């Protein structure tokens, strides 16, 4: 648990249900560059962020070297996420996955690539393929 400004506590918990949904999206969309054993989904509570729904975090190169580890990613889902309908939640998951580059090296793809247009295209593809695969 971490203290946030104003004295409140930021709390995290495993999001096993979102982990399973993320893995399904990765499988259906063929995002084979993402190592699901090194991506963790978490829920956070107590954030003072007003507009943020989810965030992607990475273990950067310096920390990878210091820890003798490969890249790791964490996708944090804030409380607002659970109030959304499932379709919009799937789009948020896709959006966060798009931040993970093909190299899976600890970097990020930025919002010039991770944009509404690409999210919409992939979500439509996911919906079409989901029932087929």
In this structure, what are the phi and psi dihedrals at residue 57, rounded to the nearest 5 degrees?
-115, 150
Q: What is the rounded average pLDDT for all residues in the chain? A: 92
**CA-atom Rg of the chain in angstroms:** 15
Domain coordinates of the chain in residue numbers? 2-130
Arithmetic mean of pLDDT, 43-72: 93
Name beta bridge partners: 77. Answer: 43, 54
Residue range 69-114, pLDDT digits in tens: 999 999 999 999 999 999 999 999 999 999 999 999 999 998 888 9
Task: Given CATH 1.10.10, say whether it is the number of domain 2-130.
Answer: no
For the residues of 13-47, what is the DSSP string, one character each?
A: EE-HHHHHHHHHHHHHHT-TTS-GGGEEEEEEES-
């Amino acid at each position: 648990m971490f203290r946030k400004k104003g004295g409140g506590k930021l709390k995290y918990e495993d999001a096993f249900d979102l982990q399973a949904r993320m893995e399904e999206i990765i499988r259906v969309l063929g995002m084979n560059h993402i190592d699901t054993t090194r991506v963790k989904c978490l829920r956070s509570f107590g954030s003072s962020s007003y507009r943020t729904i989810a965030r992607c975090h990475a273990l950067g190169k310096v920390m990878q070297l210091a820890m003798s580890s490969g890249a790791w990613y964490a996708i944090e889902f804030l409380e607002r996420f659970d109030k959304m309908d499932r379709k919009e939640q799937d789009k948020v998951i896709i959006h966060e996955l798009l931040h993970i580059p093909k190299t899976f090296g600890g970097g990020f793809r930025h919002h010039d690539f991770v944009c509404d247009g690409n999210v919409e295209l992939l979500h439509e593809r996911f919906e079409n393929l989901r029932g087929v695969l």
